[in-house]
Structure 1
Amino acid sequence: MAPSHSDSPLLFDIPVRPDFVLEAGIMRDGHAPVAGLDEAGRGPLAGPVVAAAVVLDPERIPDGLDDSKRLLPEAREGLFLDIFEAALSVSVASLCANSIDGSNILKASLEAMRRALDGLCVRPAYALADGRDVPPGLACPCRAVVKGDQRSQSIAAASIVAKVVRDRMMVRTGALVPHYGFDSHVGYATPHHRSAIAEHGPIARLHRMSFSPFKPVAA
């Protein structure tokens, strides 16, 4: 039996920081420009899932691009500005908690990626999406890249944009309902957040009622 193919990289195949190798190979095959796709907010109990699409300028790639989770907040904010300054095109899309509850978080994340790609003012010839799944309905060919935000600078740039935009959205939400602490945990299931939910209850259209701990209560 022929061995099955996996896109999962071996540990020693993942560069210390993402590079432009995947994009360069695709462009050599005649597919340019290339967009990177990633999302932020699959795990939280509250708030939207936010996706970003970024088409980098190969001649002006910001220094220090990396998986947003491996960057300090100050570094993310600086790179966010650098990306908008240097990229050929950037687009952001989000789906709210109700949309997540109406399908599931995976489908919502992929749909947000599709919408982000559609919003680019520079039409990509190819896309690289973080994860194991290609978003359905894309307007161009796409490859799913496991740990893509650690392998591709385009995906890393998208991960930074999505993370910064989502965090800013949740900080603004926190100003409206300060007793939930969204400015610190941005919707994740921290002890502070769980304690606030236990005391005040979930917020309609903000908390994801299909997620634990809400789903058993709603059943």
Structure 2
Amino acid sequence: MPYQPPTHSVERSLRATTGAKVVAGVDEVGRGAWAGPVTVCAAVTGLRRPPEGLTDSKLLTPKRRLVLARELESWVTAYALGEASPEEIDAQGMTAALRLAATRALEALPVRPDAVILDGKHDYLGEPWKVRTVIKGDQSCVAVAAASVIAKVRRDTQMAQLGDGHTDFGFCDNAGYPSPVHRAALERLGPTPYHRLSWAYLDALPQWQHLKRPRLVAEAVRENALEARGQLGFDF
């Protein structure tokens, strides 16, 4: 399928229908990882023409993603990042952790957005934010695509730095996501301080199951229901 650049159509619609003057695109990375934080970027781009080749971060090579992220950081009108730690994910569940990270990013912007374009189908932000969810927004909306690239590069860099002290886990390559190297290291060494201890990967590691923390019941039921309907997307 030929490359289709993202546009400002959703942002223009929000401006026309709600009177929003400042619209932020929001995207997350790290939701499906075993280790590390979940990271959210909020980006405000205005209606300017985006850098060439902008799209969902997962569709870019690591080299191109890094170059584009550097360009975007000076091109966007404003951006900010927020994250929720593994401890917060374990204690509150992923939906609450996403809300926490996104709120931190949005509140760190120099100007409060009048509306938010959120990638995906599920609105994990809620009030008081005025949210428009867009499936595959990281491919179709300029601000969301910009947020996607910046968030991905920042988190990958962070995970590579964490990996310096835990080289067996391959964080430089897998960024804390499932991989054969990651699984083998877990079997031998057990989880690091950066691992999520409520995650199901521990169920397959009997020697480390004593470390597992119980998942929030409501969170587990909601995610199981979403997964059954094919609505729960994990990005890499």
Q: TM-score, structure 2 length as denominator?
A: 0.81
CA positional deviation for 1:39: 0.3
Question: Which residue pairs with 2:219 in the alignment?
Answer: none
2: CA distance, partners of 1:106 / 1:68: 22
Work out whether 1:34 is the aligned partner of 2:23: yes
Gaps of 5+ in 2: 213-236
1: CA distance, partners of 2:26 / 2:127: 11
What is the correspondence of 1:110-129 to structure 2 with a 5 Å cutoff? 110-129=99-118
CA positional deviation for 1:140: 3.6
SS at match of 2:100: helix
Gaps of 5+ in 1: 1-11
SS at match of 2:95: helix
Question: Which residue pairs with 2:42 in the alignment?
Answer: 53
Contact 1:40/1:49 (8 A) holds in 2: yes
What is the correspondence of 1:179-198 to structure 2 with a 5 Å cutoff? 179-198=168-187
Q: Give the counterpart of 2:160 among 158, 171, 177.
A: 171
Question: Which residue pairs with 1:82 in the alignment?
Answer: 71
CA positional deviation for 1:104: 1.5
2: CA distance, partners of 1:21 / 1:174: 40
Question: Which residue pairs with 2:232 in the alignment?
Answer: none
Report percent identity of matched pairs.
Answer: 35
Contact 2:119/2:136 (8 A) holds in 1: yes
Deviates more, 1:132-141 or 1:70-79: 132-141
Work out whether 1:19 is the aligned partner of 2:7: yes
SS at match of 1:122: coil
Contact 2:125/2:131 (8 A) holds in 1: no
Check 1:43–1:26 CA distance in 2 against 1; reply closer, same or farther (3 A cut). Answer: same
Q: Give the counterpart of 2:197 among 209, 213, 219.
A: 209
Q: Give the counterpart of 1:147 among 119, 136, 150.
A: 136
Cα deviation code 1:7-37 (max 9, x no counterpart): xxxxx9xx83321111122123321121000
Deviates more, 1:129-138 or 1:88-97: 129-138
SS at match of 1:43: coil
Question: Which residue pairs with 2:149 in the alignment?
Answer: 160
Cα deviation code 1:64-97 (max 9, x no counterpart): 2111111111111111112111111100011111
Greater share of residues in helix: 2
Deviates more, 1:159-168 or 1:54-63: 54-63
CA positional deviation for 1:61: 2.4
2: CA distance, partners of 1:195 / 1:169: 22
SS at match of 1:202: coil
CA positional deviation for 1:215: 4.8
User: What letter corresponds to residue 200 of structure 2 in structure 1?
Assistant: S
Contact 2:34/2:196 (8 A) holds in 1: yes
User: What letter corresponds to residue 11 of structure 2 in structure 1?
Assistant: E
2: CA distance, partners of 1:133 / 1:171: 30
Deviates more, 1:54-63 or 1:183-192: 54-63
CA positional deviation for 1:108: 1.0
Deviates more, 1:94-103 or 1:107-116: 107-116
User: What letter corresponds to residue 41 of structure 2 in structure 1?
Assistant: A
Name segments (4+ residues, structure 1) moved above 4 Å. none
SS at match of 2:80: strand
2: CA distance, partners of 1:27 / 1:62: 22
2: CA distance, partners of 1:51 / 1:171: 18
Q: TM-score, structure 1 length as denominator?
A: 0.87
Number of matched residues? Answer: 205
Contact 1:57/1:86 (8 A) holds in 2: no
Cα deviation code 1:116-166 (max 9, x no counterpart): 111101221111011222233655411111221122111111111111110
